[in-house]
């Protein structure tokens, strides 16, 4: 399945915009431009398409909870406010060769925690196949999405995307959760949104093949190239000689061996650099078969040295494409861009900017052959303001 277009209307700063995603989708832009809001709009679409929309379903996907009036666009130029938030997803199925579209119109909560479905519609090859609305004479529960539960056979071919989207989450790992010293408030398998269960996930990815230690489908040596001070990584139960008894910890911990230290001086993720833990988290997210097929990472460059960010981006993109996943990423690091093979159509770069009315607009960045021949890196082009997605500072 390939996502073809996501359209967003009347959601926070995204009053009327759309974009055509690839497998890797990187959003750049000034602070407050609406990058995180794009990820949240996809989270809202995921909840609406696969379940129901309420505080629990949004939090489970990493969407920030707002008061109902702030979910809808509140721009000064809007003369008559649209009563619904409007979302649309277009995709095609590589097996059946059909094109599909799902549209949903939602109203925010009033006297209950649940959002109300104003209408849902499903199209195959541009032809309406199914739908419901408040105007219909047929009574139905307007607080539940019917796309996955309706027994209409016309929906069967299109439901695979909803199942893939159902586990969508916006991941924002933080250091203490990655270290295993605080619980992840958004627990899920195989990884929590804030980095929980990292040790368990890594243990499931480690294997030995003809005396070669592998991390997922790559050699451990390739991982250690990114964590250049480490000579080995393993997962074991915590021991008195490598973690202080006063430190709360999980049942399994990541152990590191430092190439510059004695073999007996192994230590856990609690004492390791946060950059090393972040690299392992991103690799696990990209490689683990039980991980979400479609997901987002807000602030992808978090905790990474710029040069490590470049290498991590290269490896991450390769693994996402190899494993047939789709990722949406935001970044403020120019070096992340240098890890993108923008000539590969599966890897797409977008600028998010506010127009003169304050509306967030999403623009795909394509780099011409002439621009590439100038010999400047993507990071340099971005810093010089030639790609968009930079603040206007006086």
DSSP labels, 267-313? EETTTS-HHHHHHHHHHHHHH-TTS-SEEEESSTTTT--HHHHHHHH
Q: Which two tokens stand for residue 8?
A: 């967003």
337 found inside a domain: yes
Compute the CA torsion angle 96, 98, 99, 100 (nearest 10 deg): -70
* Residue 297, beta-bridge partner list: 171, 329
Asked if residue 175 is part of any domain, the answer here is no
Tell me how far apart the alpha carbons of residues 39 and 343 are, in angstroms, rounded to a whole number: 24
For residues 43 and 58, is the Cβ–Cβ distance under 8 A? yes
| Pair 252, 332 in one domain | no
- Quote the domain boundaries for residue 329: 2-169+292-383
pLDDT in tens, the chain (394 residues): 799 999 999 999 999 999 999 999 999 998 999 999 999 999 999 999 998 999 999 999 999 999 988 999 999 888 777 889 999 999 998 888 899 999 999 999 988 889 999 999 999 999 999 998 876 555 568 888 888 888 888 788 888 888 889 999 999 999 999 988 888 888 788 999 999 999 999 999 999 988 889 999 999 999 999 999 999 999 999 888 888 888 888 889 999 999 999 888 889 998 999 999 999 999 999 999 999 999 999 999 887 888 889 999 999 999 999 999 999 999 988 888 889 998 899 999 999 999 999 999 999 998 877 776 777 788 888 777 777 655 554 4
Q: In what order do the strands lie in the sheet with 24-28?
A: 170-171, 294-297, 326-330, 24-28, 347-354, 360-365
Q: Is 308 domain-assigned?
A: yes
For residues 220-238, one letter each, b for 16 or more C-beta atoms within 10 angstroms of the residue's C-beta and e for the rest, the string is beebbebbeebeebbbeeb
Question: Rounded CA gap, 367 and 363, in Å?
Answer: 13
Considering its fold, how many domains does the chain have in total?
2
Last residue of a domain, one of 224, 249, 275: 275
Residue 394 lies in a domain: no
**pTM, entire model:** 0.93
- 251 plus 215 within the same structural domain: yes
Would 283 be classed as within a structural domain?
Answer: no
Q: Are residues 147 and 198 in the same domain?
A: no
pLDDT value at residue 393: 43
Q: Which pLDDT score is estimated for 392?
A: 55
Note whether residue 144 is domain-resident: yes
* Contact yes or no for 20/364 (Cβ under 8 A): yes
Within-domain flag for 176: no
Query: Is residue 362 a contact partner of residue 17, using CB atoms and an 8 Å limit?
Result: yes
Question: Same structural domain for residues 152 and 234?
Answer: no
List the CATH number of the domain containing 50. Answer: 3.40.50.300
Confidence (pLDDT) at 139: 54
HSE-CB for 52 with a 13 A CA cutoff: 13
For residues 147 and 6, membership in a common domain is answered with yes
Residue 281 covered by a domain:
no
Q: Where does a domain end: 216, 247, 275? A: 275
228, 243, 275 - which closes a domain: 275
């Amino acid at each position: 399945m390939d996502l073809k277009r996501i359209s967003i209307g009347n959601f926070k700063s995204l009053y009327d915009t759309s974009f055509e995603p690839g497998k890797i989708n990187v959003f750049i832009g000034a602070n407050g431009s609406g990058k995180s809001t794009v990820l949240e709009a996809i989270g809202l679409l995921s909840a609406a398409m696969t379940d129901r929309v309420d505080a629990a379903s949004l939090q489970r996907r990493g969407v920030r909870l707002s008061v109902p009036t702030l979910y809808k666009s509140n721009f000064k130029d809007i003369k008559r406010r649209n009563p619904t938030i409007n979302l649309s997803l277009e995709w095609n199925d590589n097996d059946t060769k059909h094109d599909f579209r799902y549209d949903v119109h939602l109203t925010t909560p009033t006297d209950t925690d649940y959002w109300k479905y104003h209408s849902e519609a499903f199209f195959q090859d541009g032809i309406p196949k199914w739908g419901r609305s408040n105007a219909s004479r047929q009574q139905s529960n307007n607080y539940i999405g019917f796309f996955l539960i309706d027994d209409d056979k016309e929906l069967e071919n299109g439901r695979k995307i909803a199942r893939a989207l159902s586990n969508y989450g916006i991941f924002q790992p933080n250091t203490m959760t990655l270290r295993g010293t605080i619980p992840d408030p958004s627990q899920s398998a195989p990884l929590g949104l804030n980095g929980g269960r990292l040790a368990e996930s890594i243990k499931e990815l480690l294997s030995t093949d003809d005396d070669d230690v592998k991390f997922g489908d790559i050699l451990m040596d390739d991982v250690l190239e990114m964590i250049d001070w480490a000579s080995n990584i393993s997962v074991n139960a915590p021991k008195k000689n490598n973690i202080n008894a006063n430190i709360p910890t999980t049942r399994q911990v990541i152990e590191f061996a430092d190439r510059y230290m004695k073999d007996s001086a192994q230590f856990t993720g609690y004492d390791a650099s946060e950059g090393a833990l972040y690299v392992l988290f991103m690799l696990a997210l990209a490689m683990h078969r039980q991980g979400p097929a479609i997901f987002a990472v807000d602030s992808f460059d978090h905790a990474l040295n710029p040069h490590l960010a470049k290498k991590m981006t290269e490896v991450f993109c390769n693994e996402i494409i190899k494993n047939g996943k789709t990722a949406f990423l935001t970044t403020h690091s120019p070096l992340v861009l240098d890890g993108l093979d923008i000539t590969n159509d599966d890897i797409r770069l977008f600028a998010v900017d506010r127009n003169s009315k304050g509306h967030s607009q999403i623009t795909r960045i394509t780099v011409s052959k002439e621009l590439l021949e100038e010999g400047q890196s993507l990071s340099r082009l971005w810093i010089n303001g030639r790609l968009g997605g930079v603040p206007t500072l006086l």
